Chain A
Amino acid sequence: MAVALFGIVLSVVSSFAASGVSAASLGGFAASPAVRALYGVPYDISSAGGFTVWRSGSFVLVIAGLWAVMATTRVLRGEEEAGRFDLVLAAPVGLPRLVAGHLVVLSIACVVAGVAVTTAFLVGGEPATGSVLYGSASSLFTLTFVGLGAVASQLFGQRRRAAGIAGLVLGATYVLRMLADGSEGLSWARWLTPFGWVASVQAFAADRWLPLVPLALLPLALLGAAVALSARRDLGDGVVHDADVAEPRVLLLAGPVGFAWRQRLGGLAGWVGGAAMFGLVIGSITVDFSEFLASNLEMQKMMARFGFGSMSTPAGFLGAMAGFLGVLFSLQAVSGLHLAWADEQQGRLDLALAQPVTRTRWLGAQVMATTLAVLCAVLASAVCAWLGVWVGGADLAFTDSLAASANTLPLVALFLGLAVLVHGVVPRAGVAASGGLVLGAYLLSFLGPLIELPSWLLDVSPFVHLAYVPADPVDWAASAVMAGLGIGAGAVGFVAYQRRDLA
């Protein structure tokens, strides 16, 4: 992870020098509410350091936060769930000490990540104060979410649940940051989130040390709480204990499709909630932004030059946000298919496939249920974006809002197909490979133009080929290619799955 952060920061820093974008030309654009909501408040974007913090900062922090949540819940709850803590705890080591030990290792990883960020800025020739400040802030930010993951791992008895809830908190924090940065009336909310604290450091601008205080105190409190909580629970269980005994619910146990759908219901609430929240925020800043653009002809021209098309109408802005939704839905698809591998890897599939159920039928049910879950999230985002625009006082047809969300479906089909291919051919690479493909492709389309990669390389990323629906017409050719590739990859995946050995 540290390497990735180093690479992202350094590439943006160095590209800034090369591109020679003038601060003046960016100033108005960057200061507009919607762009602030997307990237954060630009404190000083005339320097490469300040520009990098603004342009890639919140993106880098989200990646770091996600890593922290996933890694921590995996080490602390996943290992315990797999029964590997039992052996360690048979030695004279208490649970709190074991938890504390793992947290020390994870904390060191956070420090390494911070050092990588600082080094990247220094290598890029940026001032030491800002570099150290921003590196420390990123470090402490990551540590905060290690702390959050650690607390969630103590509270909940299952890794999926701990990771899901910690991830939801990360998402909610990010949405709060978007609102705080995007709207003047809510700017006080900047002091509520770790995102806001990192931004308030104003690295390479005012270089303030004060925000590091809450940034250091919160993780310390969380880590302390995690260790304290671990002393108050049984091994294999969480502090929040749910009932061990339940009335049988036979609904959705009738066959592979019903059961696959039942397996996804738990996670569905999170994905749909996330999509709804995102839709609402996008919808509500849409009006603000399109009005700002509509009154500013100069800016319109510049946006066009930046390749953002016509964002002066709500419809146009909504279309430009499709990439984010594409990432969200694709990750949902990838993680949905991951359940199929989890069942296989942990031996649960043996009992199911010993029945007269073919692998093709089983995997087909998993793919079908995953698709249905994605469609639910698509619908939720469309409804909420439409509601958001309506609350903001503008007009947008619901069909337009739906078209904006649904336009990402061929892209999702592509990544779902690739995930099936991975499942069939190299299942052990699993979610890391398929999820990595999604994030990698997005990163390429997001940062590629900034560091001026050749266009043939950019074209590899399917995100580049997303049309700005509904402002622009649907790109049927590109959609057909993406969906076709997805179906092809999926078909190969099915055949490979049918032929390979089960784990």
Chain B
Amino acid sequence: MDDAPAIRIEGLSKHFGDVVALDDLTLTIDHGEVFGLLGPNGAGKSTLLRLLLGFLRPTAGHAWLNGVDVADVHEAHRGVAYVPGDVSLWPKLTGAECLDLLGNLHGAVDAPTRDALIERFALDPSKRARTYSKGNRQKVALIAAFATRADVLLLDEPTSGLDPLMEQEFRHCVEQVRDQGHTVLLSSHILAEVEQLCARVGILRQGRLVEVSGIDRLRDLHAGELEVDIDGPPPDLSSVAGVEGVERTPTGLRLQITGPPGPVLAALAEVDVTGLRSREASLEEIFLTYYGDSS
């Protein structure tokens, strides 16, 4: 069981009637990895997490957490913590009572850790849950999750509603658990968050995993921009390896390039280059290329 990956998903599919929410997804996430799950609304991110928690029953395929089939909730959830994107609490219970209940249900919560987390997230636990704003409800779930010291954290847009200060605190917490060798599956819309925390990302579109790769490699795969000022007539670079697009500017050319820029630079050596500016594609632009043309 120890050598089993933290999260293993084999051919997982989920249909709701005619709607295919998740289509034949296969993915393995190793211990100690922070994996980012990205995709537009309705791409199937929450469906995937709810399947991993055993809330939904797969139409096909299997999944294991720490080598335990996700259907075996009693075993699998011992090492799992979950934060949903929209936390609902029992309105009459106070924050402290909610945390107490969740801790007791889990069975192995460290009280000093929990108190420290309450402090860090600046939560007032004496208030009844019905008075909490969305951000405060989110904090309760985050505190409950991090206090369990689970070694697999399933986080579904966990920072929605948090202010920037608390979001920062959240990132510290994730970095901490990562340094302890725990695994995090983070579904998010906040690209800066993903960029900072995740080594690998998967992009879901319409229920299909269209890309899995390290963030660095993802950058390489995608067009960066090179603006070249040229004295004299610009050369024809459209057939040079790595050039995806060429655009005339008043002073020269704007090139979209992927991969290493060597061939382009070699081709440019033949003309009189008076200026050169390069810009890496932002993560945002990369995602737009995946999200954009929804066919």
Contacts and interface: CB of A to CB of B under 8 A. Distances in A.
A23 interface: no
Interface string A331-350: 00000000000010011101
Contacts of A250: 97, 100
Interface string B51-95: 001111100000000000000011111101110101111111010
Given A246-B128, A346-B88, 5 more contacts: A247-B126, A255-B105, A351-B141, A353-B55, A356-B76
B117 to A, nearest CB: 16
B12 to A, nearest CB: 14
Nearest to B81: A354
Contact of B100 (A245, A248, A263, A502): A248
B126 A348 contact: no
Given A244-B128, A244-B131, A356-B78, A501 B55 contact: yes
A235 interface: no
A221 interface: no
A253 interface: yes
Interface of B: 50, 53-57, 73-78, 80-82, 84, 86-92, 94, 96-97, 100-102, 104-107, 125-128, 130-131, 141, 144, 154
A258 to B, nearest CB: 9
A355 B106 contact: yes
A256 B126 contact: no
A221 to B, nearest CB: 31
A353 B84 CA distance: 12
B102 A502 contact: no
B88 A350 contact: yes
Contacts of B82: 350-351, 354
Given A246-B126, A248-B97, A356-B75, A348 B89 contact: yes
Contacts of A500: 57
A355 B76 CA distance: 9
A259 to B, nearest CB: 6
A233 interface: no
Contacts, number: 98
B126 A248 contact: yes
B128 A253 contact: no
Given A356-B78, A356-B107, A357-B73, A248 B94 contact: yes
A502 B75 CA distance: 19
Contact of B88 (A245, A256, A348, A354): A348
Contacts of B128: 243-246
Contacts of B92: 266
Contacts of A451: none
Contacts of A87: none
Interface string A256-290: 10010001001000000000000000000000000
Chain A interface, DSSP helix/strand/loop, else mixed:
loop
Contacts of A305: none
Contact of B73 (A243, A263, A346, A358): A358
Given A254-B104, A356-B73, A351 B87 contact: yes
Nearest to B144: A351
A343 B88 CA distance: 9
Contacts of B131: 244
Contacts of B86: 347
Q: Which of B57, B102, B105, B154 has the most CB of A within 10 A?
A: B105
Contacts of A348: 88-90
Interface in A147-166: 157-158
Contacts of A351: 82, 84, 87-89, 102, 141, 144
A501 B56 contact: yes
A359 B105 CA distance: 13
A2 interface: no
B71 to A, nearest CB: 10
Given A246-B128, A248-B125, A356 B97 contact: no
A85 to B, nearest CB: 15
Contacts of B104: 253-255
22 contacts: A158-B91, A245-B127, A246-B94, A248-B100, A250-B97, A250-B100, A253-B101, A348-B90, A350-B82, A351-B89, A351-B102, A352-B102, A353-B54, A354-B53, A355-B102, A355-B105, A355-B106, A356-B107, A357-B77, A357-B105, A359-B73, A502-B56
A390 B39 CA distance: 72
Contacts of A249: 97
B55 A502 contact: yes
A253 B100 contact: yes
